[in-house]
């Protein structure tokens, strides 16, 4: 196979891994809602919610999804607690790995490590009430869906592996020759820094983290910057396309609502 053919196959696998991840997370949402929605509907709503989260901030899409399901007689608390578990299941494996690898990074760059600890402390202080409410919803809903938890564990594992595979393929496409475990270190530390930062949606923090961690592994700044921008463009672009494809009306209504609210505030 030619070099161009290999790149084309890798690009196809990159997008395939993201699409499979979307389907897996949607299946998890269906499980947590006790099968009250069909898989295709879960996929559609998941894509719309993710697109809204990308357009605005994380949580906007979840609110819209909860509103839509309320019209289908699924209570807010049930949807929100299911989404809280989804968010936790997506984030927790990466954060756990990020904290594990972050200790080693901290020894090598103590100022950055102390800065990260400071950001986490600010995050916890600013969002302590939201975190308390978030955890309350999770534990409350866990009682209702306890029989489904065993079926949800493979969803968490498979989604994590798909994300890991996505970044391995992405780095490989750009010619990086770092091991699969180094990929895990790079991404988990960057993800944790972005997710735990007090900045809404960790805007720019995760990208900066990827650049820094890649440079630690000998990747020139210019190449690391291109990879971080490619990651942002691929993920955001794909979910925006899927979101508008599956729920243009919902997204338009949400954008209009946000615009009218800002006009009233002015």
Q: What does the alpha-carbon distance between residue 188 and residue 194 come to, in Å, rounded to a whole number? A: 10
Residue 182 has pLDDT above 90, yes or no: yes
The band of 171, judged by pLDDT with boundaries at 50, 70 and 90, is very high
Per-residue confidence at 178, pLDDT binned at 50, 70, 90? Answer: confident
Confidence of residue 204 (pLDDT cuts 50, 70, 90): confident
Report the pLDDT value the prediction gives residue 234, as an integer from 0 to 100: 92
Terminal Cα distance for the chain, rounded: 59
Q: What is the per-residue pLDDT across 107-154, written as a single tens digit (0 to 9) for each?
A: 555 555 566 566 666 666 666 666 667 666 666 666 666 666 677 788
- Has residue 262 got a pLDDT over 60? no
Q: Tokens 């995760």 correspond to what residue?
A: 206
Residue 169: CB atoms within 10 A of its CB come to 20
Which pLDDT value is given to residue 243?
Answer: 84
Kindly state the tokens that stand for 218: 């000998």
- C-beta of residue 55 within 8 angstroms of C-beta of residue 237: no
| pLDDT tens readout for residues 36-59 | 888 888 898 888 888 888 777 667
pLDDT at 253: 66
Dist CA 188 CA 37 (whole Å): 32
Torsions phi, psi for 2 (to 5 deg) = -70, 165
**Which pTM was predicted?**
0.79
pLDDT band at 250 (very low <50, low <70, confident <90, very high): low
**Percentage of the chain lying above the pLDDT 70 cut:** 70
């Amino acid at each position: 196979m030619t070099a161009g053919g290999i790149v084309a196959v890798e690009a196809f696998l990159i997008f395939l891994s993201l699409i499979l991840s979307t389907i897996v997370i949607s299946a998890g949402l269906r499980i947590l809602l006790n099968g009250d929605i069909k898989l295709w509907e879960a996929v559609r709503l998941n894509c719309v919610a993710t697109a809204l989260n990308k357009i605005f901030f994380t949580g906007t899409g979840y609110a819209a999804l909860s509103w839509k399901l309320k019209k289908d007689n699924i209570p807010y608390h049930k949807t929100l607690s299911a989404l809280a578990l989804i968010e936790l299941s997506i984030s927790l494996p990466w954060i756990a790995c990020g904290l594990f690898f972050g200790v080693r990074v901290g020894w090598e760059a103590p100022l950055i490590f102390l800065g990260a600890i400071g950001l986490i402390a600010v995050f916890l202080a600013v969002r302590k009430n939201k975190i308390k409410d978030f955890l309350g919803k999770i534990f409350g809903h866990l009682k209702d869906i306890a029989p489904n938890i065993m079926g949800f564990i493979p969803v968490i594992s498979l989604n994590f592996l798909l994300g890991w595979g996505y970044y391995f393929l992405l780095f490989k496409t750009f010619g990086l020759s770092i091991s699969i475990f180094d990929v895990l270190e790079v991404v988990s530390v960057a993800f944790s820094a972005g997710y735990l930062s007090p900045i809404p949606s960790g805007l720019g923090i995760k990208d900066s983290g990827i650049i820094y961690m890649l440079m630690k592994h000998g990747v020139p700044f210019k190449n690391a910057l291109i990879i971080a921008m490619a990651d942002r463009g691929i993920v955001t672009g794909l979910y925006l396309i899927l979101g508008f494809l599956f729920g243009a009306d919902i997204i338009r209504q949400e954008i209009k609502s946000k615009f009218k609210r800002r006009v009233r505030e002015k």
